[in-house]
Homo-oligomer: A and B are copies of this chain.
Amino acid sequence: MESKSPARPRTVGRGPKVRAAVHAATLAELLDKGYAGLTVEAVAQRAGVHKTTVYRRWQDREALVVDALSEHFAADIPTPDTGSIESDLRLLTQGLVDSMTGPIGQAVQVAMYSDAGRLPEIAAARRRVFADRFRRAEPVVSRAIERGELPHGTDPTQVFTTLAAPIHFRLLVTGEPVDEATADQAIRVTLAAARAGALAVVHGAEPAEPQRNPLE
């Protein structure tokens, strides 16, 4: 990502420092070359450590990628309760956008959906994070219904999906930047749709049963 890594490994110290350097190098290599092109050798060189140092701590490149991605993908978005649906959605969206901002956030997010996302541990981490995000949206929506800001029957899953979909679309499909304007627009669309009753629980719809993700 930045300058070329030196031909001869630099010394980066021991323990947590090595761990951080190897994690950063793994993410940078994932962003540059994808999971298909990632090698432990290139990670070691970029991190400035010997290959054997990497293999002493991580069994193989899978373990390395799982460790590096899981650490950075873990979400810590509190459930907002500001008294207004608009500012609650703003905080929820901000948490999502923040996790995709900057080269590391972007690399982690993209890698979670690339070939690296086929690793069972990565797929499990992705499921955990999304279950957690849907769960956090529930009280936000039920409180808005109580306050009369959203119609009865508004579905928290639909609300969160409508909020998250355009943000992921930019990140994964069009490659446009994910920024504050993206967040504003997602909130505007979600609120308009919810107020019009378009995000109500759909009766007769199939239950949203978890299916085999073709990426896994």
Task: State the interface size on chain A (CB cutoff 8 A).
Answer: 53
Does A55 interact with chain B (Cβ within 8 Å)?
no
Distance of A211 Cα from B176 Cα, bound (Å): 6
Nearest CB on B from A141, distance (A): 15
**A172-216 interface bits toward B, Cβ cutoff 8 Å, 1 = contact, 0 = none:** 111111010100010011011101111100100110111111111
Chain A interface, >50% SS class: helix
Distance of A202 Cα from B185 Cα, bound (Å): 9
Q: Does A70 contact B (CB under 8 A)?
A: no
Give the distance to chain B from A46, nearest Cβ to Cβ, in Å: 18
Per the bound structure, the CA–CA distance linking A173 and B210 in Å amounts to 12
Q: Quick check: is A73 within 8 A (CB to CB) of the other chain?
A: no
- Option from B118, B174, B192, B209 in Cβ contact (under 8 Å) with A192: B192
Instruction: Give chain B nearest CB distance to A25 CB in angstroms.
Output: 17
Q: Tell me the complex Cα distance, A166–B37, Å.
A: 30
In the bound complex, do residue A161 and residue B168 qualify as a contact, i.e. CB atoms below 8 Å apart?
no
B214 touches A31 (CB 8 A): yes
**CB of A36 within 8 A of chain B?**
yes
Bound Cα distance A164, B161 (Å): 13
Does B168 contact A173, Cβ atoms closer than 8 Å? yes
Binds B, one of A7-15, A75-83, A105-113: A105-113
The answer to whether B115 and A35 have CB atoms under 8 Å apart is yes
Chain B residues, Cβ within 8 Å of A142 = none
A-B complex: 8 closest residue pairs judged by Cβ atoms: A175-B213, A36-B36, A192-B196, A165-B169, A192-B198, A165-B165, A115-B115, A34-B115
Q: Which residues of A contact B (CB under 8 A)?
A: 31, 34-37, 106-107, 110, 113-115, 118, 130, 158, 161-162, 164-166, 168-169, 171-177, 179, 181, 185, 188-189, 191-193, 195-199, 202, 205-206, 208-216
